[in-house]
Homo-oligomer: A and B are copies of this chain.
Amino acid sequence: MKKNLIAVLFLALFSSGMLSGQELANFSFGRGPRVASPVIQGDSVTFSLSADYATVVQLQGNWLQGMTPMRKSNGVWSVRLPLPAPEIYTYNFVVDGVSVNDPLNVMVQRDGNRYLSMLYVDGERSANYKEANHRGSVSHVWYDSKILGINRRLTVYTPYGYEANPKQKYPVLYLLHGAGGDEEAWSSMGRAAQILDNLIEQGKAVPMIVVMPNGNPGQQAAQTLSLPESNTNFRDPSMSNAYPRSLAEEIVPFIEKNFRAIPKKSSRAIAGLSMGGGHTITTSLLYPSMFDYICPLSMGTQDTPEINSQFAALKKAGFKLYWVGCGDSDFLFNNAKTLDSVLSKNNIEHTFFVSDGGHTWPNWRLYLNTFAPLLFK
C-alpha cells in the first residue's frame, strides 16, 4: 500500500520532469508488458524491444549478416536466434531505419563515437572477459606532453595487491589502441583489466601495470566537454613520429615516476592493434633499447632497405619476445605477412600468431589473452 503510494508519487514527479531517472531505476511502472532482453536460454538468445508504434524493427549484430527481421506480438518485437559461440558481441535494433540500443541491457560499449549494446556468451574462449575474484584498479590520469603541446589523459591498470604491497615494483605493458579508438578502448571493448585480472589470478601472467594511452596525437582525451584538439600541425616534417616520441620520451618516464614501475628494458612491453600496431613497430624501432617485449597486432610493415636496416639494429640491441598477431581475413594480413618475412630475413626469432577472422575486437582480446602470459618471464 505504502509502496504503491510512493510509486504513484514518483511517477507524478517523473512525468512533471521534477525527478531524474536516478531515482527511478529501483521502481517499476506499468508501462507496457514486462520484457527482458537479451535472454539466453540453452542454445538460443532472444532479443526484445517494446515498440508498439514502429512499422519495421530489425536486429543488427556484429556476428550476423545484414539485418535480421523481428516480429511483433502485443507491442513487443522479438527474435530468437541460435546462441553464437562464446565471445563478446555488439548489437543494436533498427527501428524504422534508426539505430537504437537495447534499453533493457545496461551493458553498453562505446566504440569510437558509437554506442552499442553488448552480448556476452560465456564459455572457454570468453571466460577471462568476465570479472575475476581478485581485481586491480583502473585509473584515468593526466600527463603533460611538451612534444604534442597538450595535457593528455591515459588509463592505467594496476594489478590486485598493488595497494597492499607498497614496496613492490611491477613491470609495465604499454597497450595501444587503433584509429578511431582512444584511451578507453582497451579497458572497455578490449576487457584488458578483466583479462589481466584473470590471467594473474590463475598464475598464468605475472602481476603487471598496463598503460593505455590516447594514440591520437592531437586529442587531449575522449569525451570531454571543452578540451580542444591540439593546434600542432602534425604534418610538419619536424613533427614526424611525434606520437612514438611522446610515448617513449614522455609517457614512459611519467609512468616510471608516478607508479611503482621497474624502470628497465626487461620490464617494459609494448603492444598495439592496427594504428597502435604501427605505433608499436615504430616506437620499438626508434628506441631499440627500450622494450624487451614487442607485440604488434593486426598490423604489418613494408619490406624496404630502411626497414630492414632498422630491424637489423633492433636485433643487435636485443630483445626477448617479438610476437605478431593477425587474423587470416584481416585486410592487413598481407602487411603482417610481410612483417613476418622481414623478421625471418633478418634472422629475428619471433612468433607469427594467425587466427581466424579479421580486424576485430574478438581477435584483439584473444591476442592479449595469449601473449600477456609470455611477458616478463
Q: Would A23 and B274 count as touching, CB distance under 8 A?
A: yes
Main DSSP-derived SS at the A contact region: loop
A26 at the interface (CB under 8 A from B): yes
Number of copies: 2
The segment from A35-43, A178-186, A302-310, A340-348 that touches chain B is A178-186
A360 at the interface (CB under 8 A from B): yes
| Chain B residues whose C-beta falls within 8 Å of the C-beta of A116 in the assembled complex | 21
Q: What total of chain A residues lie within 8 Å of the partner, measured CB to CB?
A: 85
The residue of chain B having its C-beta at the shortest distance from the C-beta of A75 within the complex is: B97
Q: Which of B65, B135, B164, B178 contacts A22 (CB 8 A)?
A: B178
Q: Would A17 and B138 count as touching, CB distance under 8 A?
A: no
Taking the closest CB of chain B, its distance from the CB of A280, in whole angstroms, is 16
Given contacts A131-B225, A137-B141, contact A54 B98 (CB under 8 A): yes
| Chain B residues whose C-beta falls within 8 Å of the C-beta of A224 in the assembled complex | 131
Q: Would B360 and A19 count as touching, CB distance under 8 A?
A: yes
List residues 107-158 of chain A with CB under 8 A from any CB of chain B: 107-108, 110-116, 120, 129-131, 133, 135-142, 151, 153
Q: Would A22 and B180 count as touching, CB distance under 8 A?
A: yes
A361 at the interface (CB under 8 A from B): yes
A99 to B54, CA, bound (A): 11
Q: Would A62 and B25 count as touching, CB distance under 8 A?
A: no
Q: Would A54 and B13 count as touching, CB distance under 8 A?
A: no
Q: Which of B55, B151, B189, B223 contacts A96 (CB 8 A)?
A: B55
Query: Can you list 14 A-B pairs with a CB-CB distance of less than 8 A?
Result: A13-B358, A20-B62, A23-B359, A25-B113, A51-B98, A93-B98, A106-B113, A130-B225, A131-B224, A131-B227, A135-B142, A136-B142, A139-B139, A194-B225
Q: A19-B360, A23-B179, A23-B180 are in contact. List 10 more A-B contacts (CB 8 A).
A: A19-B331, A21-B114, A21-B116, A93-B98, A95-B98, A106-B110, A131-B224, A135-B153, A136-B142, A138-B139
